Amino acid sequence: MKTVSILAVIIIIIGFGLQSASAASSIPSVDNITNTTQEAINNASDTVNQTAQDVQNTLDPIQDILNSINSVLNTVSSIVQNIQQIFGGY
């Protein structure tokens, strides 16, 4: 009976040792997944930032054109008002 108890204790110790080794070997996998996920998030963030910059670079000249058109329209409106005043408000 004593031999069976000792054998059971040895099997339990070996079992825990194998589980610990298995858990320890899976930790780098978790770290690897975490690092890969962080890299993917960083790459996505960089892509979004670059896309936003590209959109801004496209919209800035369009905004400049619209501002110029608005300025011309304001000038034309002012000229039309002056002409109307010259002809008595018609």
Range of the domain at 64: 56-89
pLDDT in tens, 34-73: 888 889 988 899 999 999 999 999 999 999 999 999 999 9
Does this model's pTM top 0.85?
no
Residue 84 lies in a domain: yes
* Residue 27 CA to its chain's centroid (Å): 27
Q: How far apart are CA 45 and CA 38, in angstroms?
A: 10
Q: How far apart are CA 78 and CA 54, in angstroms?
A: 37
Residue 4 lies in a domain: no
Q: Are the beta carbons of 45 and 52 closer than 8 angstroms?
A: no
Which range has the worst mean pLDDT, 1-15, 19-33, 45-59, 63-77? 19-33
Residue 43 lies in a domain: no
Q: Are the beta carbons of 84 and 90 closer than 8 angstroms?
A: yes
- Domain total in the chain: 1
